[in-house]
Amino acid sequence: MAAVEPLDIDHLRHLSGIKWSRYGPDVLPAWVADMDIAPPPVVVEALRGLVERGDFGYNRHALLQLPDAFARWQADRHNWAIDPADVRVFCDVLHAIDTALWLLTGPGDGVVLFTPIYPPFLNALATTGRRLIDVPLDPDGWRLDSERLSAAIDDRTRAILLCNPHNPTGRVFDEGELATIARVAEEHDLLILSDEVWADLVHPGATHRPMSTIGPEAAARTLTISAASKAFNLAGLRCAVAHVGHAGLATRLAELPAHLLGAVGTPGAEATLAAWTAGGSWLEAVRAHLTERRDQLTGRLAADLPGVGYSPPEATYLAWLDLRSYGLGDNPAEVLLDRAGVALSSGPDFGVHGLGRTRLNFATSASILDQIIDRLVAALA
């Protein structure tokens, strides 16, 4: 397994993506969930071949192979056997979530979120007129409290929107926690939307369990959404898949006009297919690199910033930091952008339980991560 070499800072500053272009040249960005790592060579080769052939006509060659490729990937990586016929392709993860909420819930219906949570989940409820059922995770380890979940359900709760592994905390929910979700969903006849886009970036010691493997009852009420976007750094290519275990949702999707949901472009389908069929060894090298950066961050925080509240993530390349002891107010990211020249994700964007907190993306080189931490140390000293 060859080591992965992150891109150098001069290369990164010439990229047009939002991570490195949003702020000025004096800022080190550690906010949006992009990695400072070039995509897999097999993906680059697939896209280069598409360009060199001028193969830009009507093209469903890769698209039609994605359900089978996803099924094989899940079987090999997560011991989950699925029928490719139950897999649909979407333009991105949020596309699938919004569609399912729109089809199976109504305005004012309640949707459970385990907070703090990825900001677009909150936006999805706001823009569709659905009601937040806030179930906070325990700050000490970010575990799910079964009694809190059961007590939160009311007579108009219709769905549970799950992010597993969890963004921003990096928790990998264990079998007991997933069984609790399955039990509550069955008791109240709830749809489960399980965003598992981070499933392939789990650190040693943790194991991802797809929600649908908890049991046949859970599988029959779950929409599992995934993509190669996070694990292979392909977010801009806009391609995701969803396994539709919920029969009612499958029926509603089939009733939609053929072109209502749009279609994935050929580059996104080609890149995803290459990642899932030939990108395994590259992914293992990336996982090793990310675990090293996580451990680097953990050590530096313990040594230089012991006042930061932090649980090392079990998955993802995101660190959820509690900075309330430093007196930086509700949105420390705003203060640190000014004082340290480091761009972090705004804690309040993740809900009310993000006040005084921020999210740091450590998917970069050891050198850049040290520079980021050095700046934070100087600003917080």
Give residue-wise pLDDT tens across range 62-111: 999 999 999 999 999 999 999 999 999 999 999 999 999 999 999 999 99
- Please provide the DSSP assignment of 304-342 as one string: H-TTSEE---SBSSEEEEE-GGGT--S-HHHHHHHHH-E
Element (H, E) at 249: helix 247-255
340 near 375, Cβ under 8 Å? yes
Question: Phi/psi at 2 (nearest 5 deg)?
Answer: -75, 145
Return mean pLDDT, the chain: 97
Q: Cα–Cα–Cα angle for 11, 13, 16, nearest 5°?
A: 100
Count of other CB atoms within 10 angstroms of residue 1 = 10
State which H helix or E strand residue 163 sits in.
strand 157-163
- At residue 381, the pLDDT reads 85
pLDDT in tens, 204-232: 999 999 999 999 999 999 999 999 999 99
Q: What confidence score (pLDDT) does residue 125 get?
A: 98
Q: Residue 2: pLDDT above 80? A: no
The single residue listed with the structure tokens 């005084």 is 356
Q: Which ranges in the chain are annotated with CATH 3.40.640.10?
A: 48-278
Give 48-278's CATH code, choosing from 3.40.640.10, 3.30.420.40, 3.40.50.670, 3.30.930.10. Answer: 3.40.640.10
What's the CA gap between 285 and 228, in Å, rounded?
A: 16
Q: Among all chains, which residue has been given the structure tokens 């520079």?
A: 371
List the 191-195 sheet strands across, edge first: 87-90, 240-244, 222-226, 191-195, 157-163, 110-115, 131-136
Q: What is the pLDDT of residues 305-324, one digit of tens each?
A: 999 999 999 999 999 999 99
Sequence ranges of the chain with CATH classification 3.90.1150.10 = 9-39+280-380
Q: Quote the pLDDT of residue 154.
A: 98
Question: Considering only CA atoms, which of 334, 332, 321, 323 is closest in space to residue 294?
Answer: 321
Q: Looking at the predicted structure, is the pLDDT value of residue 146 above 90?
A: yes
Residues of the chain above pLDDT 90, percent = 98
| 1 — pLDDT class (breaks 50, 70, 90) | low
Does the global pTM surpass 0.95?
A: yes
Please report, rounded to a whole number, the percentage of residues in the chain having pLDDT higher than 70.
100
Strands (E), 164-293: 191-195, 222-226, 240-244
The separation between CA 18 and the C-alpha centre of its own chain, rounded to angstroms, equals 17
Q: What is the pLDDT of residue 189?
A: 98
Average pLDDT over residues 247-255: 98
* Amino acid 3: pLDDT: 80
Contacts of 344 (CB under 8 A, 6+ apart): 30, 31, 321, 332, 333, 336, 337, 358, 359, 360
Topology at the third CATH level for domain 9-39+280-380: Aspartate Aminotransferase, domain 1 (3.90.1150)
Distances (CA, A) of 146 to 102, 151, 152, 181, 235: 27, 9, 10, 8, 33
Report, in angstroms and rounded to the nearest whole number, the Rg of the chain calculated over CA atoms: 21
The answer to whether residues 344 and 274 touch, using CB atoms and an 8 Å cutoff, is: no
